[in-house]
Structure formats: C-alpha cells, structure tokens
Amino acid sequence: MKKWSIWAVVGLLAACVETTPSIRWQSELQEPGSYVSIHQSGIGLIHHVFRGRDGNAHRVESYRGPAPEGIPEFTTYLDQHGNYVRWGNAEGIQAEYQPHNCVRTLGECRFTKTTANGEVSDWVRRTIATSDGYSYQLLREGDTEPTYSGHAVLDARGVAGSGAVLGPRGPQTNTLVGRGTL
C-alpha cells in the first residue's frame, strides 16, 4: 500500500508540472557551414554562417550580399544557448557582454556591455516565449521605455529567421529567405 501511494504522489506531481517553452539556440544540433539567409528591410540580404566552436564560444560569421562569401561583415560569439558573449568586425572585438546579452534568456535578465572604446552600459532585457519564438524589450538600466523591442520566429533547432525590431533607427522587419550548408 505504501509503494502505491508514493507512486501516486509522484504521478500527480509530474502531471502538475508545467513545461516551460525554450527559446534556446541548440548549439549541439548546429553543423559547421550551415547558414540562414535573411532579408532585412532597408538593409538587404544577410547570411549568418555557423563556423563551430572557437575556444569556449560558438562563432557565427555574417555576410552581406547575394551569397555567404567573401569577408564577413561581422562575427558573433555565442554561448551554448545562443546568448552573445562578444561581437566584432574586421577591426576586432567591438563589444563584450557580461555575463552575456540575455537574448536567449526568458524573463528579466541584466547584463553589462563594454565597447572597444571603453564605453560601459548596463542593460535590462525582458523576454517572453511565444508560440513560434520570443518577444522582448531591451532597456538601458534606469530607463522606463525600451530602447529596442521586437520578436523573432525560431525553427526546431532554435535558429532565428523572420521577425521584427523597433529601435532608434525605426522599424526593421526580417524575413527568412532560405537555409543551406556550405
């Protein structure tokens, strides 16, 4: 009788646990050379190419133009969940985020951004899961209105495709154009 009641309680608890949606970028499912191509309104086509591990981060190189080739416009270094830890271009690392930029962290998350010229700023990101990805607001610490807000659609591996951003330069839409492997 005791055995049955313990398993009944365990079963009841398991049935009551609500599963939390994940907005995690699933680094373990990414293949080096795989990429997504996205049309950014007002800017044009960009290709984000996963290059693999680079030290303790994952490296994604981003190319503008008709194909993912040539010199990357910028390189993003991500943790295993898809949060940015560093961002750079041909001139070197331009921004570092401590502990990361919170892009794939649900709820309220705080981080510090340090730029190459030594500017330090503290940020708050509020992110909620949606049925097809996530929505967010990004505020400078102490501000009451977001500097950026938007949403992104994620595929089954957590790769962002289509979405929208509203920021200081106005609205921008992102439309997934395709996927491939180099």
**What is the percentage of the chain residues whose pLDDT exceeds 90?**
86
For Cα atoms 122, 124, 130, give the angle at the middle one, nearest 5 degrees.
150
- Evaluate if residue 13 carries a pLDDT over 50: no
Tell me, what's the pLDDT at 18?
Answer: 40
In this model, does residue 131 exceed pLDDT 90?
A: yes
pLDDT of 132 over the 50 cut: yes
CA 58 to chain centre: 12
The CA-based angle 61-66-71, given to 5 degrees, is: 35
pLDDT higher at 8 or 2: 2
- State how far the Cα of 167 lies from the Cα of 75, in Å rounded to an integer: 21
- Please report the domains of the chain, with CATH numbers, ordered by start residue: 23-181 (2.40.360)
> Between 13 and 111, whose confidence is greater?
111
Any residues with CB less than 8 A from the CB of 62 and at least 6 apart, and which?
46, 47, 48, 49, 72, 73, 74, 75, 76
pTM for this prediction: 0.86
- Average pLDDT for 5-27: 55
Q: What is the pLDDT of residue 11?
A: 42
